[in-house]
Amino acid sequence: MASVKPRVKVPKSAAKGEIIEIKTLISHVMETGQRKDKKTGEKIPRQIINKFTCTFNGTPVFSSDWQPAVAANPYLAFSYSVVESGTFHFEWVDDDGSVYVKDVELKVN
Amino acid sequence: MSMKISKLLEDVSRRQLLVAAGQGSAVVATMTLLPGRLRAEFPTLYEAINSVTGDASPAEGRIELTLPQIAENGNTVPIEISVDSPMSEADYVKSVHVFADGNPNPNVATYHFTPANGAARFAARIRLAKTQNVIAVAEMSNGDLYMAKSEVKVTIGGCGG
């Protein structure tokens, strides 16, 4: 899937103890495996992102397991309690084994 | 009539086995969870919830489940969940499981939290095939379970069949 593009929105800087919102979005069809090809009548094979993980400086923060009922171009927002400066690492795992990644820096004032 | 239905079920199960053989762990996992139920492609709502709760019955409260009352497009329905919790090392929300009782597969997604989240909340978008109940089950770090339910009326279903 060449067109898969992960996007993440995190405040560039934050204060220690602040709870920030992390917004993620990734372009993906999330093919359910339930749809039929209108011409052939054959089921279109399932292909979804089935796992999302977020770590900060290597420590797990948040993760999610997805089924085909997660909408196309999956959007996910969650919160994070700021402790120190560092790097968020985001990963999306596709049914076909592809892993889409994104790293984002956070600066603590 | 019954012949036809059993034929249909056989076809489904044959296709299901082919898919399971060729495809990923999700289908295999579903099947290993359900020994002796090879004919159905997906668990029932009861089975899906039961795989999280076991014999325990979840309590009401603590979950704020925000969904539209009416969704014009079932292909993308905004969902927001917030669970009342201090999110400390000693007391936090471990995970939130989302189910939909009118979709072909009642499992929607599971969200795993850590105390680092500071607050147990998330926002996402899901597919709903038709008017149905969306159910959230929250699992606390001490094992306590909470459940909330909300009905969504869907104008155009999100299965794209």
* CATH number of B75's domain: 2.60.40.2470
**Residue B3's pLDDT band (boundaries 50, 70, 90)?**
very low
Same domain, B61 and B131: yes
Shortest distance between the Cα of B61 and any Cα of chain A, in A, equals: 21
Q: Do the domain assignments include residue B161?
A: no
Question: Are B149 and B72 found together in one domain?
Answer: yes
Single out the residue of B55, B44, B14 nearest to residue B106, CA to CA: B44
In whole angstroms, how far apart are CA A59 and each of A49, A53, A54, B75, B143? 22, 11, 9, 34, 23
Domain count of chain B?
Answer: 2
**Judgement on whether residues B107 and B34 belong to the same structural domain of the protein:** no
Would you say residue B100 has pLDDT above 70? yes
pLDDT tens per residue across span B58-83: 999 999 999 999 999 999 999 999 99
Residue B132 sits at the chain A interface (C-beta within 8 Å): no
State which residues form the domain around B20: 3-38
Give the model confidence (pLDDT) of A16-30 as tens digits.
999 999 999 999 999
Q: Is residue B22's pLDDT more than 60?
A: no
Out of B121, B124, B126, the one facing A79 most closely (by C-beta) is: B121
pTM: 0.83
Q: Quick one: B50 and B115 in the same domain?
A: yes
Do B93 and B68 belong to one domain? Answer: yes
Positive/negative CA dihedral, B54, B58, B64, B66:
positive
Sort strands B107-112 and A59-66 into parallel, antiparallel or unpaired.
Answer: antiparallel
B26 and B51: one domain? Answer: no
Nearest residue on chain A to B111, alpha-carbon basis: A64
Q: pLDDT-based confidence at B18, cuts 50/70/90?
A: very low
Residue A83 reports pLDDT greater than 80: yes
For A41, the closest chain B residue by CA position comes to B161
Q: Looking at the domain A5-108, which fold is it?
A: Immunoglobulin-like (2.60.40)
Residues B54 and B116 in one domain: yes
Q: Which residues of A touch B (CB under 8 A)?
A: 19, 32-36, 43, 45-46, 50, 56, 59-72, 74-81, 83, 95
Does residue B133 fall inside a structural domain? yes
Let me know whether B90 and B129 are in one domain. Answer: yes
In a domain, residue B105? The reply is yes
- Chain A nearest-CA distance from B79, in A, is 10
Residues B113 and B50 sit within 8 Å (Cβ to Cβ)? no
- What percent of chain B has pLDDT above 90? 70
Average pLDDT over residues B113-129: 98
Assess whether B9 and B65 both reside in one domain.
no
Least confident of B71-75, B145-149, B153-157: B153-157
Min Cα–Cα distance to chain A from B125, Å: 6
Residue A75 with chain B: CB contacts under 8 Å: 123-125
Q: DSSP secondary-structure letter at A39?
A: T
> Same structural domain for residues B20 and B95?
no
Q: Are residues B70 and B31 in the same domain?
A: no
B114 touches chain A (CB under 8 A): yes
In a domain, B160, yes or no: no
Residue B159 lies in a domain: no
- Read out DSSP for B19-80? HHHHS-HHHHHHHHHSTT-TT-SS--HHHHHHHHHTT--PEE-SEEEE--SEEEETTSEEEE
Name the packing angle between helices B2-22 and B25-33 (round to 10°): 130
- The answer to whether residue B121 neighbours chain A at the CB level (below 8 Å) is yes
Domain spans in chain A, listed from the N-terminal domain onward: 5-108
Between chain A and chain B, how many beta carbons pairs sit less than 8 Å apart?
110
B65, B77 contact by CB (below 8 A)? no
pLDDT surpassing 50 at residue B20: no
State how far residue A105 is from chain B, nearest Cα, in angstroms: 16
A-proximal residues of B, 18-47, CB under 8 Å:
19, 23-24, 26
